[in-house]
Amino acid sequence: QVLPFPSQVVYNRVGKCGSRTVVLLLRILSEKHGFNLVTSDIHNKTRLTKTEQMELIKNISTAEQPYLFTRHVHFLNFSRFGGDQPVYINIIRDPVNRFLSNYFFRRFGDWRGEQNHMIRTPSMRQEERYLDINVCILENYPECSNPRLFYIIPYFCGQHPRCREPGEWALERAKLNVNENFLLVGILEELEDVLLLLERFLPHYFKDVLSIYKNPEHRKLGNLTVTVKKTVPSPEAVQILYQRMRYEYEFYYYVKEQFHLLKRKFGLKSHIRKPHPRPEFFIPSPLETEEPIDDEEEDDEKWLEDIYKR
């Protein structure tokens, strides 16, 4: 049997960026297309010691191919430990929206009807659980200030200790890894386009993903993972968050620009607007996908071939 290429894919999913929706899709797709979906029960250990990195890389590398491995974990450099570097994929979202989703999810869970949040954070005191988001931000509680707000970049920067420090070094290394090791980093606000491109780039894994995603029964399941009791902070609090997350936003806008270039290359239209002095928050997600356009003829096969050869 000839394996599809690439036959090793890693989705080191960023927390609260639509990953439960995507993993739900992957479970359906793995049965439909016969690839090996390797998931992890560890959800709260993204930073690993050198020994833990070696062990995880060994476990992933020996999985039956073709495989797609998924876990909340910062970027792992397989080649550093003598392994074959897999193809990476990921999805990110507006950093403040991601932070708010996580803040309320930890406290109140989602619409699945279980008391998941109580199980997840049993030791959280009542006053902490009901802590007003504005108080948390304006009074500089640890949960609402750096380094905890520096969250997305380390998933792309990697396991180096400096990847956890908000600054230019981690930002630039994250951008470099996106360019060199990630086949696709999508934007959650444009999820349907992300799925279209994944289907195009990795058909063995993602063929028919969009039709499954749009199926009313699946959408019903997806709606159960929406965070509940989410409230909007004051404009002053949002502005403070934006300042504290300036590196996260620089990375987000960089990824978004690359994603829009990729969409245009494959005939998907984006509404490109001038950057705002501050980000637009609380965009409904996902946005509707526009019809493809035909005004750019590109040799996509050659482009994909080049990507796989990196």
- Hey, what domains does the chain have and what are their CATH numbers? 8-269 (3.40.50.300)
Q: What is the C-alpha separation between 198 and 186, in angstroms, rounded?
A: 9
Q: What confidence score (pLDDT) does residue 118 get? A: 55
Q: Token digits for 87?
A: 């193809």
Strand partners, 11: 70, 89
Q: What confidence score (pLDDT) does residue 310 get? A: 47
Strand partners, 36: 67
Of the residues 33, 72, 204, 218, which is catalytic?
72
Residue with tokens 């509680």: 141
Q: What confidence score (pLDDT) does residue 84 get? A: 92
Establish whether 218 is a catalytic residue. no
Q: What is the C-alpha separation between 29 and 23, in angstroms, rounded?
A: 10
Backbone angles phi, psi at 39, to 5 degrees: -110, 165
Q: Give pairs for 40-47: CB < 8 Å, separation 24+.
A: 40/69, 40/70, 40/71, 40/73, 42/71, 42/72, 43/72, 44/72, 45/73, 46/72, 46/73, 46/74, 46/154, 46/155, 47/74, 47/154, 47/159, 47/164
Q: What confidence score (pLDDT) does residue 119 get? A: 53
Q: Which helix (H) or strand (E) holds 120?
A: helix 116-120
pLDDT digits (tens, 9 = 90+) for 251-269: 999 999 999 999 999 988 7
Distances (CA, A) of 276 to 70, 215, 249: 34, 35, 12
Q: What confidence score (pLDDT) does residue 281 get? A: 46
Contact 11, 76 (CB under 8 A): no
Residue with tokens 């016969």: 34
3-state secondary structure of 185: strand
Q: Token digits for 221?
A: 């399941």
Q: Which of 197, 206, 185, 159 is nearest to 57 (CA)?
A: 159
Contact 292, 267 (CB under 8 A): yes
Low-confidence ranges of the chain (pLDDT < 70): 1, 110-120, 220-228, 270-310
Q: What confidence score (pLDDT) does residue 24 get? A: 93
Contact 142, 150 (CB under 8 A): no
